[in-house]
Amino acid sequence: MIYDTTLCNVGDTLYPFTSGTAQPRLGIPRGTFHLQFEDLSCVELFAGVKTVARGFQYYGFSAATYEIADDGIYQDILNPLGFCFALSLCIRLFKEAGLAWFAPVCSSWVWINRHTSGRSQERPLGYQQCSAVQLAMNVMVGRCMACLTMMCALGLPFILEQPSTSVMEYHPCFQFLARQFRIYKAFVWMGSYGGDSPKGTWLYSNVEALIKDLYLPLCDKKWGAKMVRRLVALNT
């Protein structure tokens, strides 16, 4: 069940994986094969401009990013190798009890794509005769949920973000996760955190304390009082 808490690469010093392929430190004692992987405090998947990982790195924590623009194979969750790599990154959070931050592609799930995809709360997978892109998005969410199920089973925290109009949480695999584990969600404005637009966003997590106090009201001076009232009305 999802609980609403809002009420209303190894590369230089920044990222372990920016060169596109996983390059773990190797230690190969005589007669054995041994891989040494760095323990991680944060993994940012679908990282984009890598803001979350940069924040962890700024404060001295180890962080890895996973972004298809950096590698079209090992960092593509639709590729079997990429899916395995995503799972391996999440497992490396175990020792540090680190955070996995997911921001899966939202374009197929938001209101502006409703006519094309046919998605809704009642039919989250979309039209029966769906396009290859739509099918890929369904698979992407399923694999993200597999990662999150593993995180929950290991007792590790995660945060997943989606725009406020996304119907991703109604995907069958998302619903399965919510039935097996307690999942919380909280509403935030990206514009309150320096975003270029107000952008109402839902954050989902298996740890309530991570997200319940993140809501900040939009600033009238920046966005205009009329715009703020309209946005608040649309998102409440």
- Domains of the chain, each with CATH number or no CATH: 2-234 (3.40.50)
Q: State how far the Cα of 156 lies from the Cα of 42, in Å rounded to an integer.
A: 11
Give 17-43 pLDDT, tens digit per residue: 333 334 333 333 343 334 457 899 999
Residue reference for tokens 């773990």: 24
Given CA atoms 170, 78, 115, 228 in this order, what sign does their dihedral have? Answer: positive
pLDDT given at position 20: 38
Instruction: Indicate the pLDDT class of residue 46, thresholds 50, 70 and 90.
Output: very high
Task: Tell me the average pLDDT across 158-176.
Answer: 96
Q: Is residue 5 within 8 Å of residue 184, measured between CB atoms?
A: yes
Q: State how far the Cα of 38 lies from the Cα of 155, in Å rounded to an integer.
A: 20
80, 56, 82: which is closest to 69 by C-alpha?
Answer: 82
pLDDT given at position 35: 46
Q: State how far the Cα of 110 lies from the Cα of 106, in Å rounded to an integer.
A: 6
The larger pLDDT score, comparing residue 51 to residue 195, is at 51
pLDDT above 50 for 81: yes
pLDDT above 90 for 181: yes
State how beta strands 10-11 and 99-102 pair: unpaired
pLDDT above 60 for 188: yes
Percentage of the chain lying above the pLDDT 90 cut = 62
The larger pLDDT score, comparing residue 103 to residue 33, is at 103
Strands (E), the chain: 2-4, 10-11, 15-16, 25-27, 34-36, 42-45, 63-66, 99-102, 158-163, 183-189, 200-205
Percentage of the chain lying above the pLDDT 70 cut = 78
pLDDT given at position 19: 34
Q: State how far the Cα of 227 lies from the Cα of 66, in Å rounded to an integer.
A: 35
pLDDT above 60 for 95: yes
Contacts of 74 (CB under 8 A, 6+ apart): 17, 20, 21, 22, 81, 82, 85
Q: Which residues pair with 185 in a beta bridge?
A: 4, 204
pLDDT above 90 for 165: yes
pLDDT above 60 for 11: no
